[in-house]
Amino acid sequence: MENIMEFAFVTDRSKHGPPTNTPVSISGDHLVITIPRRQDRDVNVTVEVSNDPINWHCDPAYTQV
């Protein structure tokens, strides 16, 4: 799994942890996390959110990618 994430987000496999530049901010009542990724990678990213550990949502009513 780790190598897939490194491939998708173009980070260095030899350096563990999140990308060094991961801006987080608040816009209105939304949390905004910016994760840089190269557009030439053949990878789909799905963002999921939840109010509890059972019911997860990933449609545009909940997230924007």
39-54 tens-digit pLDDT: 776 777 788 889 999 9
Residue 30: per-residue pLDDT: 81
Q: CA torsion, points 18, 47, 40, 23, in degrees to nearest 10?
A: -40
Residue 57 and residue 48 in contact, taking contact as beta carbons nearer than 8 Å: yes
Residue 52: per-residue pLDDT: 93
The percent of residues in the chain predicted with pLDDT above 70, rounded, is 78
Contacts of 11 (CB under 8 A, 6+ apart): 5, 19
Residue 10 and residue 38 in contact, taking contact as beta carbons nearer than 8 Å: yes
